[in-house]
């Protein structure tokens, strides 16, 4: 457990030393969201209608693109081999990587999302359910995204592949995440949808690290 | 006699339709130094990775390990954003935590004094490898699997490293090393020669 | 039991037993497909609401059923190859992916063809169609991952992990898509749902489902035999086989 915590801190230290990499998913998020009014037209009413979906799809993509890099540098410099040989339980080590990824992308995305929600003319009343949904949902996305990353990290031309593998798995999160926002818009409680996201998170925490661990062993061995 | 730290029985490996070795058996015991020889592509690295447990499929045979493994591969296994000191502290923390002066001491042994705190990406390729090799001067793990440890290391560094191998063997450790160079060590060397077609 | 399990792992044995099974199964499949098609297309009465266009269910429904089952076949084969390191399970998994993708595509295509006269559009975001689309993506992901690896043994393991992850996710995806559809769908245009099917239409459908399962099995065995030959190309028994024919 202490090892896991140290690994988490190391990953965070690495991220902090190259802050631009933390900024990238956020900038991507901002830019893609700016594209939608340009494509859909500036009418505030229709933008507000699309806003829950736009915010969530963009968060999905930002998460996916950054998940691709979680194990990449460790694979390239050989640190991953050392991790697999370490006597520590791989399940926890993997959780540390995923946790660091969530802290540097999902958490930040959720925190800045109110700004973009307001830019898309989303009612301030629903921001609570948007942020809560993103907090829970991006954690699931990080877990699933790392499964894809672990399976493609050994491939030289893996870039696009991870999207093909993982985007279909993101669908339930997208559905319940947008539904939570929509429910608040309609004046209904968003709690059931958030509870669904939390349930998915529990399932993903229990199972995804197993798949990631298996994926890493395969990738290092390939 | 104590159980071998790592033993392989009846190992066979094919790569790309070519048989690299067949029915190879090896038992590495305490106080032994094994050298795996063979030309490029003979399967030296593959054999070492099978012994380490990194390779888990693609071969036939049985491998039993009774010890933790210190493995040094082709890549330096250092994070370029961390300093040598942080890298080393991180590496050895797998088995125990070491005080900072021991870590600095190990770095000094590989000729990196004065570089302990700089980001590793400012170091040369050879120096980055030395950061990794510094683990050998601090680790308590008895079984070492070293893949071409002398690559990109200057002559003094090689001499230094070879004397460290000797002292590890004397202290009851075991080393398996792949190398093209003849080793100059103070102990006997057991050899596995992968040159040519399959051996029996 | 164990000796059977052991034999199942032997390529020549599996190759020959698959050949034997195919010799009997293939004619039966053709027979069932032909009779099911003729029965369904010619000897059932037209639907009172959809007329003759409904008859496409004799292809659409069986291919959808088999496509979904195929994913489970693939995932279970993948699990067996991961857990017991059985190479022939790996062959089965690899062979299933393109077949499953093909059946999924047939289901989607016939669904679109059916949708045109029924809904007036080639594509509607109906829950079942959307789920089938996701299933197609999942299959294609496995195929793409397999092709991306140079080391085919690693490719098999990676695909096994991916298909297991997919297997856990499929029920969740299906349920959430179902639920998403019911949320966005005004109740009046509900076509599927509690529609009942007359037994005169039902029996040929059941026959076609059985026939499609048999067809799937035939395709799988044929594909597995090809894959076995490819992997074992340098062994004695394959060389002997090639000389013999």
Domain range for C148: 11-244
Categorize the per-residue pLDDT at C100 as very low, low, confident or very high, splitting at 50, 70 and 90: very high
Mean per-residue pLDDT, B163-180: 89
Mean per-residue pLDDT, B155-172: 89
Q: Are C103 and C67 in contact (CB under 8 A)?
A: yes
Q: Which residues of C touch B (CB under 8 A)?
A: 85, 151, 153-154, 157, 234
Q: Which residue of A has its CA nearest to B45?
A: A221
Greatest mean pLDDT range, B91-100, B125-134, B175-184, C137-146: C137-146
Q: Is C179 within 8 Å of chain A by CB?
A: yes
d(CA A123, CA A118): 7
- Break chain B into its structural domains and give their ranges: 6-67+142-193, 84-131
- Which residues from B are below 8 Å from C157, CB to CB? 57
Chains near B with 3+ CB pairs less than 8 A apart are A, C
Six-digit token pair at C7?
């034999």
Q: State pLDDT tens for residues C104-149.
A: 999 999 988 888 888 788 888 888 888 999 999 999 999 999 999 9
Q: Where are the beta strands (DSSP E) in chain B?
A: 6-15, 18-28, 33-37, 59-65, 69-72, 143-147, 174-178, 189-193
- Which residues from B are below 8 Å from C234, CB to CB? 17
Number of domains observed in the structure of chain C: 1
Q: Are B60 and B23 in contact (CB under 8 A)?
A: no
Biggest distance spanned by C-alpha atoms of chain B:
51
With CA atoms as reference, report the closest residue to A222 among C55, C149, C5, C24.
Answer: C149
Mean per-residue pLDDT, A7-31: 89
Does the CA dihedral B126-B128-B134-B139 come out positive or negative? negative
Mean per-residue pLDDT, A101-124: 94
Q: Is A86 within 8 Å of chain B by CB?
A: yes
For residue C221, being part of any structural domain is answered with yes
Distance from the Cα of A221 to chain B's closest Cα (Å) equals 5
Q: Do A168 and C148 touch (CB under 8 A)?
A: no
Who wins on pLDDT, A222 or B7? B7
Q: State pLDDT tens for residues B105-125.
A: 888 888 888 888 888 889 888
Out of B68-77, C48-57, C157-166, which region has the weakest mean confidence (pLDDT)? Answer: C48-57
Q: State pLDDT tens for residues A165-215.
A: 999 999 999 999 999 999 999 999 999 999 999 999 999 999 999 999 999
Q: Is A84 within 8 Å of chain B by CB?
A: yes
Q: Output the pLDDT for position C142.
A: 95
Residue C188 reports pLDDT greater than 80:
no
Q: Which residue of A has its CA nearest to C135?
A: A168
- Which residues from C are below 8 Å from A203, CB to CB? 168, 172
d(CA C72, CA C167): 7
Q: Output the pLDDT for position B1.
A: 60
Categorize the per-residue pLDDT at A94 as very low, low, confident or very high, splitting at 50, 70 and 90: very high
Q: Which residues of A touch C (CB under 8 A)?
A: 144, 147, 151-152, 154-155, 157-158, 161, 164-165, 167-169, 171-172, 175-176, 179, 200, 203, 207-208, 211, 214-215, 218-219, 221-222
d(CA B116, CA B104): 7
CA angle A51, A56, A59 (to 5 degrees): 125
Q: Is C38 within 8 Å of chain A by CB?
A: no
Q: State pLDDT tens for residues A28-84.
A: 999 999 999 999 888 888 899 899 999 999 999 999 989 988 999 899 988 999 899
Q: Do A157 and C148 touch (CB under 8 A)?
A: yes
Q: Output the pLDDT for position B97.
A: 65
Categorize the per-residue pLDDT at B198 as very low, low, confident or very high, splitting at 50, 70 and 90: very low
d(CA B127, CA B154): 10
Q: Output the pLDDT for position B22.
A: 86
CB atoms within 10 A of CB C184: 11
Six-digit token pair at C98?
């393109």
d(CA A157, CA C149): 10
Q: Which residues pair with B60 in a beta bridge?
A: B12
Buried b (16+ CB within 10 A) or exposed e, B145-171: bbbbbbeebeeebbebbbebbbebbee
Q: Output the pLDDT for position A200.
A: 96
Q: State pLDDT tens for residues A133-162.
A: 999 999 999 999 999 999 999 898 767 899
Out of B127-131, B174-178, C42-46, C204-208, which region has the weakest mean confidence (pLDDT)? Answer: C42-46
Q: Output the pLDDT for position C1.
A: 54
Q: Is A14 within 8 Å of chain B by CB?
A: yes
Q: Which of B15, B56, B57, B62 to mutate to test the interface with C (most CBs of C within 10 A)?
A: B57
d(CA C233, CA C227): 10
Q: Which residue of C has its CA nearest to A213?
A: C161
Categorize the per-residue pLDDT at A91 as very low, low, confident or very high, splitting at 50, 70 and 90: very high
For residue C51, being part of any structural domain is answered with yes
d(CA C200, CA A103): 59
Categorize the per-residue pLDDT at C195 as very low, low, confident or very high, splitting at 50, 70 and 90: low
Mean per-residue pLDDT, B15-33: 85
Biggest distance spanned by C-alpha atoms of chain A:
58
Q: Output the pLDDT for position A110.
A: 95
C152-184 and C127-148 helices cross at what angle (nearest 10)? 160
Mean per-residue pLDDT, B118-139: 88
Greatest mean pLDDT range, A164-173, B57-66, B77-86, B150-159: A164-173
Superfamily of domain B6-67+142-193: P-loop containing nucleotide triphosphate hydrolases (3.40.50.300)
d(CA A51, CA A47): 6
Out of B14-18, B153-157, C115-119, C124-128, which region has the weakest mean confidence (pLDDT)? Answer: B14-18
Number of domains observed in the structure of chain A: 1
- Which residues from A are below 8 Å from B57, CB to CB? 221
Q: Output the pLDDT for position C223.
A: 95
Residue C237 reports pLDDT greater than 70:
yes
- Which residues from A are below 8 Å from C82, CB to CB? 214
For tokens 């529990």, the residue is: A202
Q: Do A151 and C162 touch (CB under 8 A)?
A: yes
Residue B49 reports pLDDT greater than 80:
yes
For residue C6, being part of any structural domain is answered with no
Torsion angle, CA of B158/B163/B165/B171, rounded to 10 degrees?
Answer: -170
- Which residues from A are below 8 Å from B68, CB to CB? 87
- Which residues from A are below 8 Å from C168, CB to CB? 203, 207
Q: Are C216 and C64 in contact (CB under 8 A)?
A: no
d(CA A201, CA A136): 7
Residue A178, Cβ density class (10 Å: 0-12 exposed, 13-18 middle, ≥19 buried): buried
Domain range for A106: 2-221
* Helix ranges (DSSP H) in chain C: 2-8, 11-42, 57-83, 87-119, 127-148, 152-184, 199-231, 236-244
Q: Output the pLDDT for position C245.
A: 63
Distance from the Cα of A18 to chain B's closest Cα (Å) equals 8
CA angle B136, B141, B142 (to 5 degrees): 100
Mean per-residue pLDDT, C221-236: 89
d(CA A49, CA A123): 10
Q: Output the pLDDT for position B200.
A: 40
ipTM: 0.90
d(CA A36, CA A55): 10
Mean per-residue pLDDT, C199-226: 91
Q: In the predicted model, what is the mean pLDDT of chain A?
A: 92
Six-digit token pair at B20?
């690299």
Q: Output the pLDDT for position C197.
A: 66
d(CA C112, CA C123): 6
Q: Do A79 and B77 touch (CB under 8 A)?
A: yes
Residue B40 reports pLDDT greater than 50:
yes
Categorize the per-residue pLDDT at B59 as very low, low, confident or very high, splitting at 50, 70 and 90: confident
Q: Do C154 and A214 touch (CB under 8 A)?
A: no
d(CA A112, CA A103): 13
For residue C87, being part of any structural domain is answered with yes
CA angle B39, B43, B48 (to 5 degrees): 120
- Which residues from C are below 8 Å from B57, CB to CB? 85, 153-154, 157
Q: Are C160 and C79 in contact (CB under 8 A)?
A: yes
CB atoms within 10 A of CB B88: 29
> What is the share, in percent, of chain A residues with pLDDT greater than 70?
100
Q: In the predicted model, what is the mean pLDDT of chain B?
A: 84
* Total-model pTM: 0.90
For tokens 């939570």, the residue is: A180
């Amino acid at each position: 457990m202490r090892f896991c915590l140290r690994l988490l801190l190391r990953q965070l230290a690495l991220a902090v030393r190259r802050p631009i990499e933390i900024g990238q998913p956020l900038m991507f998020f901002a830019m893609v969201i700016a594209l939608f009014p340009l494509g859909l037209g500036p009418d505030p009413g229709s933008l507000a209608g699309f806003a829950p979906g736009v915010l969530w799809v963009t968060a999905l993509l930002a998460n996916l693109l950054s998940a691709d890099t979680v194990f990449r540098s460790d694979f390239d410099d050989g640190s991953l081999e050392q991790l697999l040989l370490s006597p520590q339980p791989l399940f926890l080590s993997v959780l540390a990587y995923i946790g660091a990824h969530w802290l540097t992308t999902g958490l930040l995305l959720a925190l800045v999302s109110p700004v973009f929600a307001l830019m898309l003319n989303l009612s301030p009343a629903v921001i609570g359910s948007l942020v809560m949904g993103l907090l829970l949902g991006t954690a699931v996305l990080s877990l699933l995204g790392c499964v894809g990353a672990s399976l493609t990290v050994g491939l030289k031309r893996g870039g696009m592949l991870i999207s093909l593998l993982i985007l279909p798995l993101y669908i339930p999160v997208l559905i319940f995440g947008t539904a939570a926002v929509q429910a608040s818009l309609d004046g209904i409680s968003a709690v059931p949808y958030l509870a669904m996201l939390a349930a998915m998170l529990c399932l993903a925490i229990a199972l995804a690290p197993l798949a990631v661990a298996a994926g890493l062993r395969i990738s290092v061995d390939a | 006699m104590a159980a071998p730290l790592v033993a392989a029985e009846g190992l066979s490996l094919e790569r790309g339709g070519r048989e690299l070795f067949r029915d190879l058996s090896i038992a590495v015991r305490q106080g032994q130094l094994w050298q795996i020889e063979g030309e490029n592509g003979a399967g030296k690295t593959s054999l070492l990775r099978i012994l380490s447990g990194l390779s888990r499929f693609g071969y036939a045979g049985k491998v039993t390990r009774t010890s933790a493994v210190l493995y040094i591969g082709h890549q330096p296994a250092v994070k370029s954003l961390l300093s040598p000191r942080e890298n080393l502290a991180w590496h050895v923390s797998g088995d125990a935590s070491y005080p900072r002066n021991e870590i600095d001491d190990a770095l000094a042994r590989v000729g990196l004094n004065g570089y302990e705190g700089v980001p590793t990406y400012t170091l040369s390729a050879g120096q980055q490898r030395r950061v990794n090799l510094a683990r050998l001067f601090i680790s308590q793990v008895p079984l070492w699997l070293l893949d071409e440890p002398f690559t990109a290391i200057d002559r003094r560094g090689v001499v230094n490293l070879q004397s460290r191998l000797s002292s590890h063997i004397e202290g009851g450790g075991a080393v398996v090393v792949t190398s093209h160079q003849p080793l100059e060590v103070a102990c006997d060397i057991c050899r596995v020669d992968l040159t040519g077609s399959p051996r029996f | 039991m164990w000796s059977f399990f052991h034999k199942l792992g032997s390529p020549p044995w599996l190759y020959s037993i698959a050949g034997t099974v195919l010799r009997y199964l293939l004619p039966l499949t053709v027979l069932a497909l032909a009779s099911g098609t003729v029965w369904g297309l010619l000897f059932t009465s037209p639907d009172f609401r959809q007329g003759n266009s409904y008859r496409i269910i004799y292809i659409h429904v069986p291919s959808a059923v088999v496509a979904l089952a195929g994913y489970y076949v693939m995932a279970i084969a993948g699990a067996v190859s991961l857990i017991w390191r059985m190479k022939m399970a790996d062959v089965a998994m690899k062979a299933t992916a393109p077949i499953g993708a093909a059946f999924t595509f047939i289901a989607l295509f016939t669904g679109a063809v059916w949708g045109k006269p029924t809904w007036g559009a080639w594509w509607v975001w109906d829950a079942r169609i959307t789920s089938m689309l996701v299933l197609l993506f999942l299959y294609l992901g496995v195929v793409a991952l397999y092709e991306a690896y140079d080391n085919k043994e690693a490719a098999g393991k990676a695909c096994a992990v991916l298909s297991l992850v997919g297997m856990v996710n499929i029920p969740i995806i299906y349920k959430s898509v179902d639920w998403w559809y019911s949320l966005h769908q005004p109740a009046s245009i509900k076509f599927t749902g509690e529609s009942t099917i007359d037994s005169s239409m039902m029996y040929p459908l059941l026959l076609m489902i059985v026939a499609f399962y048999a067809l799937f099995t035939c395709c799988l065995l044929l594909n597995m035999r090809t894959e076995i030959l490819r992997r074992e190309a340098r062994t004695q028994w394959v060389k002997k086989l090639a000389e013999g024919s």
